[in-house]
Amino acid sequence: MQNEQVEVILDITKDRVKPVIPGQGFGDKRLPTADELRLINQLHGGGL
């Protein structure tokens, strides 16, 4: 996922999310939310 400056702000897989702090690095890993899992599903052709 990117912000308006086209910087990566989230690194998401079905198993974990790593928030990205542009210019600094990654935040702590966490489990994806239901909305993030839906986004992954949509990106991989799963529809709505």
Specify the pLDDT at position 11: 82
The answer to whether the beta carbons of residues 12 and 34 sit under 8 Å apart is no
Specify the pLDDT at position 30: 93
Specify the pLDDT at position 3: 74
Question: What is the total count of domains within the chain?
Answer: 1
pTM: 0.62
Q: Is residue 30 part of a domain?
A: yes
Specify the pLDDT at position 15: 92
The answer to whether the beta carbons of residues 10 and 20 sit under 8 Å apart is yes
Q: Is residue 3 part of a domain?
A: no
Q: Is residue 27 part of a domain?
A: yes
Q: Residue-wise pLDDT tens for the chain (48 aa)? A: 667 877 777 788 889 998 888 888 888 999 999 999 998 888 887 655
Q: Is residue 5 part of a domain?
A: no
Residue 19: domain span: 10-43
